[in-house]
């Protein structure tokens, strides 16, 4: 595992998974939310995100967490040797996003752009529960396609799957994939 993409739904645990994988594999994760959001929830332009992401995907090893299908998506898919889809159900995502908002209330979380105070409002709740899940079928098809191209694909559906996956990494059960 040298070039890893982690995709999934808001509140599913992608960022936490990326941090934990980064510790195990010795790779600093890149969080797409941190590239996207400037202080006070101001969005970066596509050009700004591409400018920030281009040198990252040129590295020998990386973990990139977050969907953002319009920002070097095909390049990330082509370069990745491993893809992880965190396909956690909407109720768990909703709860975890709400819980995260309580933990980081009044401050920015580590995987978010600086100056973006954590919030959980009605619009975000709708995103977590409905809007942000619209591409699920596309993500599943993408995982199948990546697997057909010889990439290592993992679909993690719950906390137990995530914990077992991390445990396997710690125990070097994926040594055939590690450089």
**Domain residue extents for the chain:** 3-170
Dist. CA 63–CA 18, nearest whole Å: 7
Do 31 and 65 meet the contact criterion of CB atoms below 8 Å apart? yes
In which order are the strands placed within the sheet that holds 3-8?
A: 29-31, 62-65, 3-8, 82-86, 152-156
With a CB cutoff of 8 Å and minimum separation 6, the contacts of 66 are 6, 7, 14, 31, 32, 33, 36
- The model's pTM is 0.91
With a CB cutoff of 8 Å and minimum separation 6, the contacts of 146 are 77, 80, 83, 153
Burial of 32 (0-12, 13-18, 19+ CB in 10 A): buried
Give the number of other CB atoms < 10 A from CB of residue 11: 28
Give the pLDDT band of residue 110 (cuts 50, 70, 90).
Answer: confident
Q: pLDDT tens, 113-152?
A: 788 888 899 999 999 989 989 999 999 999 999 999 999 9
What tokens were used for 107? Answer: 């401050």
DSSP 9: -
Q: pLDDT tens, 67-87?
A: 999 999 999 999 999 999 999
Give the CATH class of 3-170: alpha beta
Q: pLDDT tens, 11-50?
A: 999 999 999 999 999 999 999 999 999 999 999 999 999 9
């Amino acid at each position: 595992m040298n070039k890893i993409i982690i995709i999934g739904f808001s509140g599913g645990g992608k960022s936490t998974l990326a941090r934990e994988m980064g510790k195990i594999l010795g790779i600093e994760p890149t969080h797409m939310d941190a590239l996207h959001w400037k202080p006070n929830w101001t969005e970066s332009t596509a050009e700004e995100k591409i400018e920030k992401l281009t040198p990252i995907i040129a590295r020998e090893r990386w973990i990139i967490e977050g969907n953002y299908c319009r920002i070097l998506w095909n390049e990330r898919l082509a370069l990745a040797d491993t893809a992880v889809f965190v396909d956690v159900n909407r109720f768990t995502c909703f709860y975890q996003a709400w819980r995260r908002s309580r933990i980081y209330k009044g401050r920015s979380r580590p995987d978010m752009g600086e100056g973006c105070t954590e919030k959980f409002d009605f619009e975000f709740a709708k995103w977590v529960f409905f809007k942000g899940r619209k591409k699920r079928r596309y993500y599943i098809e993408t995982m199948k396609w990546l697997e057909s191209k010889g990439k290592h694909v993992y679909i993690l559906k719950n906390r137990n799957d995530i914990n077992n996956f991390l445990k396997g990494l710690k125990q070097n059960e994926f040594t055939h994939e590690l450089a």
